[in-house]
């Protein structure tokens, strides 16, 4: 998802998306461990999206204070 789209979402929506991405990251690690994962670029994409969401959540909480 693009950053401009993420900025429009509320904190609750971002939390839900963060949980979903953590699940996806876990599933990718399990696939890698089982030798089923051949497309390693998915790891980078998921990690980047998690970092973007965490940054936005921090910004939103700092802006609310």
Confidence of residue 64 (pLDDT cuts 50, 70, 90): confident
Reported as a single tens digit per residue, the pLDDT across 2-37 is: 888 989 999 999 999 999 999 999 999 999 999 988
The number of residues making up the chain comes to: 65
Mean pLDDT of 51-57: 95
Confidence of residue 55 (pLDDT cuts 50, 70, 90): very high
User: What pLDDT is stored for residue 1 in this prediction?
Assistant: 72
Helix (H), strand (E) at residue 2: none
CA distance 43 to 24: 9
CA distance 57 to 15: 8
The full set of domains in the chain, from first to last, is: 11-64 (1.10.287)
Alpha helices in 1-65 (DSSP H): 3-8, 11-33, 41-64
Which residues make Cβ contacts (< 8 Å) with residue 40, sequence separation at least 6? 32
User: What pLDDT is stored for residue 65 in this prediction?
Assistant: 65
């Amino acid at each position: 998802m693009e950053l401009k789209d993420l900025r429009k979402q509320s904190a609750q929506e971002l939390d839900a998306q963060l949980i979903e991405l953590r699940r996806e990251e876990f599933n990718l690690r399990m696939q890698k461990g089982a030798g089923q994962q051949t497309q390693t670029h998915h790891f980078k994409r998921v990690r980047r999206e998690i970092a973007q969401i965490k940054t936005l959540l921090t910004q939103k909480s700092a802006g609310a204070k």
